[in-house]
């Protein structure tokens, strides 16, 4: 599906971007072009040491900010597929600098949507977060707004042959600023700060996140929000996995944090389908009734409607990771030299 295509990846120097680039270069060697779009020249330089344009002539590094509509439009010349991973995602930073977060996560998303429609892009997948479901912090609110912009963009595409969809998943193992690398840094001090011993989170690897994006590219009709079926962990199990002898010091939940993360709320249930590996939140398009939409998307995804009171959150999950399983996953996905 991707061979012969030109792909643009926004936020391409982040954790997801590096994993996505590695996968595409390995599994789709006949792609026409893969453009890494980001605003940090140093990160692009560092990334080019691993993925050089000499070794991979189809690779491009393109400096730009998603807030700059003209630069976004220029980056889309000849592009067929866009993966949107650019975002400001640190919760405390967003709380302290709210409009900066809005500029990138909301206004930047709309810049990209309008440019993709105008420039003849065929397929767009945007990355979301569990914090976008029933948000209680600004980061989650901006990502919910972004999700709505991307799903609703299918209503304004007119005669243009383009599809917009969204993938929403939980905490990514080893991503910058996440709990696992933070605990690995802190364990030498003998104390790990625990916000609340009851706290739970969803868990997904970068590779699984890339799998979900490729699945969305292959199967979307347009407007879907894909939610993977993934396990949860308790924060205390993460601490036990990384530093079993360290003191677990309770520090309290930070502003904007939840005790448990949600990915599908009960309000989303009437529009949600269950498939073998994922849930799919179906868009509400004005030209079709809910029943007609659910039937059409159920046929496309081989899915069935969930129960009316269904919800999907990390505290009520049926899949759980214990400390031993977490250790194995850390060694596989985060640091091959990791040991307790």
| Residue 331 appears among annotated catalytic residues | no
Separation CA 21–CA 31 (nearest Å): 11
3-state helix, strand, coil in the chain (%, to 5): 40, 20, 40
| Res 98: pLDDT | 96
Give me 18's structure tokens.
């590096």
In the prediction, which pLDDT does 285 show?
Answer: 75
- The greatest distance separating any two alpha carbons of the chain, rounded to the nearest whole angstrom, comes to 62
pLDDT score recorded for residue 339: 86
pLDDT per position as a tens digit, 187-235: 999 999 999 999 999 999 999 999 999 999 999 999 999 999 999 999 9
Identify the H or E element spanning 312.
strand 312-313
Q: What is the pTM of this model?
A: 0.94
Ordered structural domains, the chain, with CATH: 6-169+205-229+266-309 (3.40.50.720)
Beta strands in 57-176 (DSSP E): 59-63, 81-84, 123-127, 163-167, 171-172
Quote the distance between the C-alpha of residue 300 and its chain's center. Answer: 23
Selecting among 18, 89, 131, 258, the annotated active-site residue is 131
236: left (phi over 0), alpha (psi -120 to 50) or beta: alpha
> 128 near 118, Cβ under 8 Å?
no
pLDDT at 176: 75
* pLDDT score, position 261: 93
Divide the 340 residues of the chain into consecutive groups of 10 and give the mean pLDDT of each group: 94 94 94 97 96 96 98 98 96 93 98 97 97 94 97 91 95 84 92 95 95 97 97 96 95 88 95 97 85 95 96 96 96 89
pLDDT digits (tens, 9 = 90+) for 111-146: 999 999 999 999 999 999 999 999 999 999 999 999
For the four alpha carbons of 22, 207, 15 and 150, in that order, the dihedral sign comes to: positive
């Amino acid at each position: 599906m991707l061979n012969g295509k030109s792909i643009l990846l926004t936020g391409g120097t982040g954790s997801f971007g590096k994993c996505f680039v590695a996968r595409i270069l390995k599994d789709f060697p006949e792609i026409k072009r893969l453009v890494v779009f980001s605003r940090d020249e140093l990160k692009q330089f560092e990334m080019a040491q691993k993925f050089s344009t000499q070794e991979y002539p189809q690779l491009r590094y393109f400096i730009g900010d998603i807030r700059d509509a003209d630069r976004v439009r220029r980056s889309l010349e000849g592009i067929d597929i866009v993966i949107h991973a650019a975002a400001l995602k640190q919760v405390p930073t967003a709380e302290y600098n709210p409009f900066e977060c809005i500029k990138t996560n909301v206004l930047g998303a709309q810049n990209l949507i309008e440019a993709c429609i105008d420039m003849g892009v065929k397929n767009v997948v945007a990355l979301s977060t569990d914090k976008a479901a029933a948000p209680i912090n600004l980061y989650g609110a901006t990502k919910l707004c972004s999700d709505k912009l991307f799903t609703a963009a299918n209503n304004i595409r007119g005669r243009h042959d383009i599809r917009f969809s969204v993938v929403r998943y939980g905490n990514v193992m080893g991503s910058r600023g996440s709990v696992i690398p933070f605990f690995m840094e802190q364990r030498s001090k003998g104390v790990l700060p625990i916000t609340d011993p009851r706290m739970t989170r969803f868990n997904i690897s970068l590779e699984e996140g890339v799998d979900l994006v490729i699945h969305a590219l292959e199967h979307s009709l347009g407007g879907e929000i894909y939610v993977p079926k993934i396990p949860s962990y308790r924060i205390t199990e993460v601490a036990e996995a990384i530093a079993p002898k360290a003191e677990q010091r309770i520090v309290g939940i930070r502003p904007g944090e939840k005790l448990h993360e949600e990915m599908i709320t009960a309000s989303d249930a009437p529009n949600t389908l269950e498939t073998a590996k994922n849930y799919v939140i179906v868009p509400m398009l004005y030209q079709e009734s809910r029943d007609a939409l659910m039937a059409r998307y159920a046929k496309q995804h081989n899915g069935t409607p969930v129960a009316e009171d269904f919800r999907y959150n990390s505290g009520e999950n049926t899949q759980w990771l214990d400390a031993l399983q977490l250790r194995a996953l850390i060694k596989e996905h985060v640091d091959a030299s990791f040991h307790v």
